[in-house]
Amino acid sequence: MVKNNEFVKFDNVDKSYDGKVLVVKGLKLDIAEGEFVTMLGPSGSGKTTCLMMLAGFETPTNGEIYLDGNAISNIPPHKRGIGMVFQNYALFPHMTVYENLAFPLRVRKIPKDEVDKKIDKALSMVALQGFETRMPMQLSGGQQQRVAVARSLVFDPQVVLMDEPLGALDKNLRESMQYEIKHIHESIGVTVVYVTHDQTEALTMSSRIAVFNDGKVQQLSSPDELYERPVNSFVAEFIGENNTFEGTVSDIAGDSCKVKLTNGIEILANPIFVKTKGEKTIVSLRPERALINPKDKMDNNHKGKIEEVIYHGDHTRVRINLLGNDQFILKIPNSTSNLDIKLGNDINVGWNSKDSRALDPK
C-alpha cells in the first residue's frame, strides 16, 4: 500500500481568538500516513491550538485542514474519525474499563460481538487484559492513562491526537509510558500527532518533530537532525542543553568561518546561517561536543576555569568560565578517568569547528 505523504495537511492556516492577534500564523505542515509527529514548543507557541483545530474543537480563522485529501474544518469532531488522549485521562468515572472502551464503539453503532473483539484487542495493546470490570478509581495513574490510550485506538481511528498525555505522571512512569506508546505506534502504524513541551519526550518518541514558537514552525525534522543541526538559535536553545557565544563573522570560506566574539577573541565555527563577513551570529555548541584537556588536536582550544561541579550518576556536569561566558557547560561521562575536574582548577577546553554552528541570532 502506498502511503499518503499529505495524510494530514495544514494549508496556510491562521488562528486568531480576538480577530487581532494571530496565535497560529500561516501554518503549512504535511504529515504522512503512519507518522508519529510531535508538536513541540513553549507555552503560548501555538502547538495546542493546532491540535485543537485538527480535532475540531477550534476552527481556523484562515486556511484549511485536510485529512486524507478531504477538507475537515467544517466537519464536527465526532465525525472526523480521530482518537484523542488528554493529560487528565478524561475517563468516565462511573463506568468500568470495559464501558469506557465500549462508549466510542456504541456511539458508532458497532455490533455487540464486534465490540467485544475490539475491546479485547485494544486492552491487549496496552497490557490490561483482565481489567475490564475495574473502575477508573481502582487503577493507578499509569493504568488510567493506558486505558485512555486504548479508548483512543479501539474504534480504529485514522489519526490519534495526544495532548500532553504523560504530564500528570511521575518521572519513571512517564519514561516507561513513552516507550509503551512508541511501541504501540510501531506495531499498529496509526498516524499520531502528539503535543508536548518536554524535549526528551519528543526526541524519544517521534518520527519527526515540529518546533513551534510565536505561532510558527521554526523547524520540522527528525529527532537527530533537530538536535545535531538546528536551523536557528531558538531551536538550538530549546532542544537540549546548549552553549552559545555572540559575535560577528570576521572571515568565511567553505565549511568554516571565523567569529570574533564581543571580547575580541576569534573562534572557528560551521557557517550554517551566515554567508558574509560582518554578519552578526550566535555560535551554538552542545555540552557533550567539548572536551576537557583533549588528547587529539582540535581547531578550537581555549583555557577556562571550573566554577561548579555537579555529579549526575552517569555523567558529571561541569560549569566553567570560558571566553567570557561563565555559564559554559561540559558533560563528562563518568567512565572517563584521570580528569582533574576540581572546583577552581584551570583547564584546557577543545572542540572541533564542525560541531559549533554559526546560526541566525533571531
For 297-344, give the secondary structure using H, E and C: CCCEEEEEEEEEEEECCCEEEEEEEECCEEEEEEEEECCCCCCCCCCC
One-letter amino acid for residue 172 of the chain:
N
Number of Cβ within 10 Å of residue 146's Cβ equals: 24
Q: What are the cell numbers at 246?
A: 555572540
pTM above 0.85, yes or no: yes
Q: What is the pLDDT of residues 337-352, one digit of tens each?
A: 556 678 889 999 999 9
Q: What are the cell numbers at 242?
A: 546548549
Residue 68 phi/psi, 5° resolution? 55, 45
**2.30.30.700, 3.90.1150.10, 2.40.50.140, 1.20.140.10: which CATH number matches 241-359?**
2.40.50.140
Report pLDDT for 194: 97
Q: Is residue 142 classed as helix, strand or coil in its secondary structure?
A: helix
Q: What are the cell numbers at 256?
A: 568554516
User: Could you tell me which residues are beta bridge partners of residue 82?
Assistant: 159
Give the H/E segment covering residue 216.
strand 216-221
Residue 223 phi/psi, 5° resolution? -55, -45
Q: What is the pLDDT of residues 192-201, one digit of tens each?
A: 999 999 999 9
Q: Is residue 137 classed as helix, strand or coil in its secondary structure?
A: helix
Q: What are the cell numbers at 178?
A: 513513552
- The span from the CA of 69 to the CA of 330, in Å, is 48
Task: Lay out the sheet containing 346-351: strands in order across.
Answer: 291-292, 346-351, 300-311, 315-322, 325-333
DSSP state of 284: E
- The span from the CA of 358 to the CA of 236, in Å, is 11
Alpha helix locations (H) across 154-274?
A: 171-188, 199-205, 223-228, 233-238
Report pLDDT for 334: 81
Q: Could you tell me which of 130, 51, 34, 125 has the C-alpha nearest to residue 86?
A: 51
Report pLDDT for 337: 58
Q: Could you tell me which of 193, 228, 188 has the C-alpha nearest to residue 208?
A: 193
Domain spanning 8-233, CATH architecture: 3-Layer(aba) Sandwich (3.40)
Report pLDDT for 335: 72
Report pLDDT for 168: 77
Report pLDDT for 159: 96
Kindly give, in sequence order, each residue whose CB lies less than 8 Å from that of residue 246, ignoring residues fewer than 6 positions away.
261, 262, 280, 281, 282, 283, 361
**Averaged pLDDT, groups of 10, the chain, 362 residues long:** 84 95 96 97 94 96 96 92 86 94 92 93 92 94 91 93 88 88 92 94 95 96 93 88 93 92 94 89 94 88 94 89 94 72 90 92 69
Map grid coordinates 564542525 to a residue. Answer: 354
Question: Where are the chain's structural domains?
Answer: 8-233, 241-359
